[in-house]
Amino acid sequence: MSYNNLSKEELKKELENLQKQYKEIQDKNISLDMSRGKPGLDQLAISMGMLDVLTSESDLKAEDGTDCRNYGVLDGIPEAKRLMADMMDTDPDNVIVCGNSSLNLMYDCIAKSFTHGVLGSTPWGKLDKVKWLCPSPGYDRHFMVTESFGIELITVDLHEDGPDMDQVEELVKDEAVKGIWCIPKYSNPSGVTYSDEVVKRMANLKPAAKDFRIFWDNAYAIHHINNDEANQDKLLDIITECEKAGNPNMVMEFASTSKVTFPGAGIAAMASSKENISAIKDLMKFQTIGFDKLNQLRHVKYFKDFSGMVKHMEKHADLLKPKFEAVLKVLNEELKDLEIAKWTNPNGGYFISLDVMEGCAKKVVAMCKDAGMVLTGAGATFPYGKDPKDSNIRIAPSFASPEDLIEASKILVVCTKIATIEKLLAE
Amino acid sequence: MSYNNLSKEELKKELENLQKQYKEIQDKNISLDMSRGKPGLDQLAISMGMLDVLTSESDLKAEDGTDCRNYGVLDGIPEAKRLMADMMDTDPDNVIVCGNSSLNLMYDCIAKSFTHGVLGSTPWGKLDKVKWLCPSPGYDRHFMVTESFGIELITVDLHEDGPDMDQVEELVKDEAVKGIWCIPKYSNPSGVTYSDEVVKRMANLKPAAKDFRIFWDNAYAIHHINNDEANQDKLLDIITECEKAGNPNMVMEFASTSKVTFPGAGIAAMASSKENISAIKDLMKFQTIGFDKLNQLRHVKYFKDFSGMVKHMEKHADLLKPKFEAVLKVLNEELKDLEIAKWTNPNGGYFISLDVMEGCAKKVVAMCKDAGMVLTGAGATFPYGKDPKDSNIRIAPSFASPEDLIEASKILVVCTKIATIEKLLAE
């Protein structure tokens, strides 16, 4: 029964009961972590074979004859370019394969824009003001990268089909707005995938700043939870759409195998127009002689080709699905009828996004922490770590076991109920 | 007999003879490369065992329990810090272990100085002018990093005991001078190691710019050519010297295993004062979640500890020594008596530095190229690629076989003789 239909007396009684439950939970000295999108040990296990691919007996030449053990090749060996291009649904010529971190690539692209400008534009470090659009809830590390450069973050609403494009189209009329963060597929944390219409409107933007760039972090391009294609999201290729729209240079796409093989020991890539890629290589050639080609080769030899990678992702889905279901089951059973929260049921990615009653998120997260369960800090999914409604909580089910997740979700539910009733009683 | 004692007629006759030899060389359609400090295939072979160290059966935990397969740990696993600290003769607490490229670390340090300043100083991107000291001959990629940021490069003479410290002490009185490139041991290309006095004067600099930094690229810290200790250079630890001098934050040290294991698939590290390291980590935490810990673990498991790495370097020395000797033998036999060139006979590093008669280096390099032999471009060892005397040629003997090196050196000798005689005849 909805909490909205309960009298104050009934709410108080329910609160007393819940506080007892909370005390019991605290006494258990639980230690659970649902804070980060970190693959579980079971997921890491499925990639262990990758460590046997290169041995002292291996041929360590790339298909073009490059000795992957030695210096050389700035932009990745051809077969790794092909693999990562397939992952991003684009052409290998558009791709640079780099080191272990796509976040690092995004950071570097912004850093280079500050020091060297973009295709000849004024370096952003010389400007009085740089602004950035942040569809929210979004990824805290994205927001922190731009914040760390002193960029002003502007919140844009994120709907079920993507960012609010009316807002975006209006905001890019400001020449100080130089970019937008996008996680276009299985967005972190809400799990939404941008609709074709949103992708097209994005590609057709007419920003005042010629050096405006869409940072298209395709982090979950192939990270489905469901192995039946009918329940997998599809995303239009933004690079093609930008080309069609006459804006070929407006997008920078990023991806990595961090959540395909080993986080921190994967390979990352970026993709863009030929002009952008060429300009980036011209700057990058001063930064490094080349990235870890042995790890690129290791990935390609392990997967053989993109279809091998897709099959590998099915194993991840098999492991992730029960984890998501465990959380969703508890939320459905315990919160649905109460009408005090909303949550997502994504087809992919690493998160469930939970919206509790306004003004309650911080309290819920703090109570969970006091009961031994770590969640992403409330507010982290918004610019400057400030959720204007104090409502959004990011749940990361990947690292724990389904059993632990049920326990963790029950704690979350108790805390949500307590915070909500206290709010209702205070009104 | 010295060319200086030959008459014009004798020189002309010698030139005719040499031109015949040169023609014969050209007809052989040789293809040789002595342009870059690239380990030879024999050197790569000795590290192949590293690929068998981590397998699907391995325990992939660091000594502190960190799962090296997953996210986390910004500054390197403890055992990798220890290994790289030993390599740099410093304390693990002073060290951050990163990705595959120390050049990338140097680039990033400069990039961050431009965007964020240094320990609270004005970001260099906001300054009208930034200047950098470049002991020369030096490493072309160093010079290009600073040049790529629009920094003005100032040439400083490099003597047999290190940079001309009188010049350096004078130049750092200019507040626009923000740093100096140093390869303090087995310098690229001259092979010199800085004397204790030079290191101490360096550590005791009193630059006008509070954010002046010594970029101490200890690229060849353990890269001896001789395995007898008596013929190995020793270098004072600059970090200790800077501490003693009350300048603990003035130095940033860099090293990597690129020329220990696999170039491009090694691990790189930086070392500095606790205050610098802490500030760098505070900026770096926005850039990446962490570096490739599996490759860090792979290195540590392969070497066990620093003594294992030292033993490994002895194998490199065994392979490199005959290559250096091959070149030096030809130079000694063919050029010594002529008194037309000087060259180095280093105890370590990757290069022989050859100084031909003023105004002849470009010509020699061009003639070698036309005969099928690639050398580093003449001038590359000086800022802006311009050797004021057009005299210095960098020879990189590591990649070729001793047999090829003899052939290559003979070509080099013929070209040097021709260019010199043409110069003498034109005078």
Contact check, Cβ <8 Å, A48/B56: yes
Q: 10 Å Cβ neighbour count for A223?
A: 21
Contact check, Cβ <8 Å, B295/A292: yes
Distance (Å) from the alpha carbon of B405 to chain A's nearest alpha carbon: 20
By CA distance, what is A44's nearest residue in B? Answer: B69
Out of A144, A145, A289, the one facing B101 most closely (by C-beta) is A289
DSSP string, A324-383: HHHHHHHHHHHHGGGTSEEE---SBSS-EEEEESTT-HHHHHHHHHHTTEEEPPTTTTSG
Q: Which has the closest alpha carbon to A222: A271, A257, A190, A263?
A: A257
User: Which 78-137 residues of chain B touch chain A by CB within 8 A?
Assistant: 99-101, 103-104, 107-108, 111-112, 114-116, 123, 125-126
Average pLDDT of the residues of chain B: 97
User: Which 322-341 residues of chain A touch chain B by CB within 8 A?
Assistant: none
Integer-rounded Cα radius of gyration of chain A: 23
Residue A4 has a pLDDT of 87
Distance CA B105, CA A71 (A): 17
What burial class does residue B127 get, using C-beta atoms within 10 Å of its C-beta: 0-12 exposed, 13-18 middle, 19+ buried?
A: middle
In tens, the pLDDT along B124-171 reads: 999 999 999 999 999 999 999 999 999 999 999 999 999 999 999 999
One-letter identity of residue B249: N
And the tokens for B180?
A: 């100096």
Q: Which has the closest alpha carbon to A26: A400, A287, A372, A376?
A: A372
DSSP string, B66-117: -BTTSS--SS--HHHHHHHHHHHTS-GGGEEE-SS-HHHHHHHHHHHHHHH-
Out of A54, A99, A125, the one facing B114 most closely (by C-beta) is A125
Residue given tokens 């952008």 in the structure block: A276
Distance (Å) from the alpha carbon of B18 to chain A's nearest alpha carbon: 36
* Cis-peptide, bond into residue B78, ω within 30° of zero: no
Question: For residue A54, which residues of chain B lie inside 8 Å, CB to CB?
Answer: 51
Q: Taking CB atoms and an 8 Å cut-off, how many pairs form between chains A and B? A: 164
Residue B115 near residue B101 (C-beta atoms within 8 A):
no
Contact check, Cβ <8 Å, A107/B263: no
Distance CA A209, CA A173 (A): 8
In tens, the pLDDT along B164-188 reads: 999 999 999 999 999 999 999 999 9
Chain A CB within 8 Å of residue B164 CB: no
Distance CA A39, CA A164 (A): 31
And the tokens for B389?
A: 């005397």
Enumerate residues 6+ apart whose C-beta is below 8 A from B410.
B25, B330, B334
Contact check, Cβ <8 Å, B264/A145: no
Residue A393 has a pLDDT of 97
Residue B50 has a pLDDT of 98
Q: Is B162 left (phi over 0), alpha (psi -120 to 50) or beta?
A: left
Contact check, Cβ <8 Å, B111/A115: yes
Residue given tokens 């303090």 in the structure block: B184
Residue A369 near residue A408 (C-beta atoms within 8 A):
no
Residue B183 has a pLDDT of 98
Enumerate residues 6+ apart whose C-beta is below 8 A from B80.
B97, B267, B269, B293, B296, B297, B299, B300
Distance (Å) from the alpha carbon of A56 to chain B's nearest alpha carbon: 5
Q: Which residues make beta-bridge pairs with B61? A: B67
Average pLDDT estimate for B279-299: 98
DSSP state of B273: -
Average pLDDT estimate for B266-282: 98
Contact check, Cβ <8 Å, B111/A107: no
Residue given tokens 């099959």 in the structure block: A311
Tell me phi and psi for residue A294, to 5 degrees: -65, -40
Is the pTM higher than 0.95? The answer reads yes
Selected for mutation to probe chain B from A292, A398, A399 (highest B CB count within 10 Å) is A292
Selected for mutation to probe chain B from A69, A103, A260, A283 (highest B CB count within 10 Å) is A69
Question: For residue B54, which residues of chain A lie inside 8 Å, CB to CB?
Answer: 51
In tens, the pLDDT along B189-244 reads: 999 999 999 999 999 999 999 999 999 999 999 999 999 999 999 999 999 999 99
Residue A1 has a pLDDT of 76
Q: Which has the closest alpha carbon to A191: A231, A228, A152?
A: A231
Question: For residue B52, which residues of chain A lie inside 8 Å, CB to CB?
Answer: 55-56
By CA distance, what is A259's nearest residue in B? Answer: B70
One-letter identity of residue B244: K
Give the ipTM of the model, two decimals please.
0.97
Question: For residue A56, which residues of chain B lie inside 8 Å, CB to CB?
Answer: 48-49, 51-52
Average pLDDT estimate for B254-280: 98
In tens, the pLDDT along B307-337 reads: 999 999 999 999 999 999 999 999 999 999 9
By CA distance, what is B297's nearest residue in A? Answer: A265
Question: For residue A38, which residues of chain B lie inside 8 Å, CB to CB?
Answer: 70-71
DSSP state of A125: G
Query: CA separation (Å) from A419 to A11, A356, A426, B359?
Result: 12, 9, 11, 81
Residue B40 near residue B400 (C-beta atoms within 8 A):
yes
DSSP string, B213-250: EEEEE-TTTT-BS-SSGGGS-----HHHHHHHTT-TTS
Q: What is the mean pLDDT of each run of 10 residues along chain A (427 residues)?
A: 91 97 94 92 98 97 98 97 98 97 98 98 97 98 98 98 98 98 98 98 98 98 97 98 98 98 97 98 97 98 98 98 98 96 98 98 98 95 97 96 94 98 94
Distance CA B330, CA B262 (A): 30
Strands B95-97 and A32-34: unpaired
Question: For residue B70, which residues of chain A lie inside 8 Å, CB to CB?
Answer: 38-39, 44, 262-264
Residue B181 near residue B134 (C-beta atoms within 8 A):
yes
Distance (Å) from the alpha carbon of B335 to chain A's nearest alpha carbon: 32
Contact check, Cβ <8 Å, B287/A55: no
Distance CA A257, CA B192 (A): 43
Residue B427 has a pLDDT of 83
Question: For residue B148, which residues of chain A lie inside 8 Å, CB to CB?
Answer: 116, 283, 286
By CA distance, what is A55's nearest residue in B? Answer: B51
Give yes or no for residue B1 having a pLDDT over 80.
no
Out of B103, B116, B294, the one facing A265 most closely (by C-beta) is B294
Q: Which has the closest alpha carbon to B379: B130, B32, B143, B34?
A: B143
